[in-house]
Chain A
Amino acid sequence: MFELRILLWTAEQHWYKGFNMYAKLVVGAADANVYQCIRDMCRLLTAATPSIANLSGQGFSTTSSAILDDTPAGWTFVGSSKPTDTPAIGDGAADATLSTSAYLNWALSAPMANDATKLKYALFTQSFIGVSATTPYKSMFSLSGAESVTSAGVATNEGYRQGNSATGATILSANLHVGIGSIIHLIANARHITIIQETKGMMALWETTSTDVHSFYGKPAFVTYAHTNAVAGSLGVISTVTVPNVGTANANVISGVAFGVTNPNTGTFYGTYDISVGATKNISNLFQASLTARANSVDAVGNPKYQISPVFLHNSDIGYPVQYVSGIVPIYWCKAGLGSTGDNVDISGDTYTYFNAANSGGAFGVLLKTS
């Protein structure tokens, strides 16, 4: 346990000390079936009492996985484009044959804190499409958001599914995956779903603080965020974002989307709004791609200090004020290599868990209050 002092954050704090469902999901001795893993995660996220019993045994390992906090996450299952998984999550035998012609999805919803009649929608999508039957590439998934999804998995204004290329001999791996050795940290409450894969990255759907603009247009304030890195070795060494929905391929592995935003100056409505780092429109602290981000600092008398940063975004050029993720979601950024995943960190009396989300390249650390 060590203490971090919060530096350089003078913005107004919104402290919502919520609890999370926290499941540490471990893949067993072979690449897992991504259908079953997604089902496992959806059951956990929608369970009244999350437990190992929610795991079918055909996805994540029931002996190595653990539920570290069984607070219900509070999400509701909406449906799936897979007919056997709607209106309820299927419990059948393992789907040995993965589709290579269509993305299959599973949708969840949760209400907003400021208005329970407004929902945010999350989609898990099995990401393998292609001609290669190479085993590691059959175990990939992405998390995206949407303005709405039907029980048949038909999405309106779905955001980026950061993932792998649909064609070509070279599979590009910007997904999360459930290949052998994968460890997935699934942390969620009704405000967020945050998935961190050790040494690979993270994908998340985060509610943010709402703004007057959101109130004026009657829209929920939430974003999705994905930041993955290539893993050297058999799981692929190339990282590129493909965005099947919006159709723009980026050259990095970071993507973010806001949903259903309107520029009050022009009246232009964006079903999905790109807040990725490559765009100049969003001046924010949402992304951290630099290895030197959050370097160590000192206090007034020279004692060493670590830096942590709040997560926020600012779609200023379309007329939106700053929106905070930190405070709504108990999360901060910190530098990579601060400790080992699972280390406890004290931030002003609150205990957070450190996660090492990536091991090289755009390395970064995540602090989440998990209980």
Chain B
Amino acid sequence: MLNQEILAYFGDNPVYTFDGSVQELKELQESTANSYGYMIVAGVIYVRAENPIVDSRAALVQGV
């Protein structure tokens, strides 16, 4: 269950957590040509991407 701060940020968009560093997220983004926006709350990276993220480090927490 995402907290209010994260829900307010992402709205109804699909949200993933990413188990890695920001640099790794960036490398994944560039290698898959997938633009994204992210926020970090309590050390956890939450990501919204233009296209679905398919990676073992990404876990869908909200949305389709």
Contact = CB atoms under 8 A, between A and B. Distances in A.
A247 B35 contact: no
Interface in B1-42: 5, 9-13, 26, 29-30, 33-42
A246 B30 contact: no
Top 9 A-B pairs, shortest CB-CB distance: A269-B40, A247-B13, A155-B35, A248-B11, A247-B11, A271-B37, A157-B37, A271-B38, A268-B41
Given A154-B29, A157-B37, A268 B5 contact: yes
Contacts of A270: 9, 39
Given A247-B12, A248-B11, A268-B5, A156 B39 contact: no
A267 B33 CA distance: 29
A122 to B, nearest CB: 15
Nearest to B36: A156
Contacts of B33: 152, 154
Contact of A267 (B12, B26, B42): B42
Contacts of B13: 246-247
A154 B39 contact: no
Contacts of B12: 247
A272 interface: yes
Interface of B: 5, 9-13, 26, 29-30, 33-43, 48, 50
A156 B42 contact: no
Interface of A: 148, 150, 152-158, 245-248, 266-272
Contacts of A271: 37-39
A272 B11 CA distance: 13
Given A268-B5, A269-B40, A154 B11 contact: no
Contacts of A150: 30
Nearest to A150: B30
Contacts, number: 57
Contacts of A269: 38-41
Interface-centre pick from B30, B35, B41, B50 (highest chain A CB count, 10 A): B35
Contacts of B30: 150, 152, 154
Contact of B29 (A156, A245, A246): A156
A157 B39 CA distance: 9
Given A154-B33, A267-B42, A269-B39, 11 more contacts: A148-B26, A153-B35, A155-B35, A156-B38, A158-B35, A245-B48, A246-B48, A247-B10, A247-B11, A268-B40, A270-B39
A156 B41 CA distance: 17
A272 B41 contact: no
Given A246-B48, A268-B40, A154 B35 contact: yes
Contacts of A148: 26
A246 B39 contact: no
Contacts of B39: 268-271
B34 A154 contact: yes
A167 to B, nearest CB: 15
A153 B33 CA distance: 8
24 contacts: A148-B26, A154-B35, A155-B35, A156-B29, A156-B36, A156-B38, A157-B37, A158-B37, A245-B48, A245-B50, A246-B10, A246-B48, A247-B11, A247-B12, A247-B13, A248-B11, A267-B43, A268-B5, A268-B40, A268-B41, A269-B39, A271-B38, A271-B39, A272-B37
Contact of A157 (B34, B38, B41): B38
Contacts of A155: 35
B40 A245 contact: no
Contacts of A157: 36-38
Contact of B26 (A156, A246, A272): A156
B13 to A, nearest CB: 4
A157 B11 CA distance: 15
Contact of A156 (B5, B35, B40): B35
A246 B37 contact: yes
A157 B12 CA distance: 17
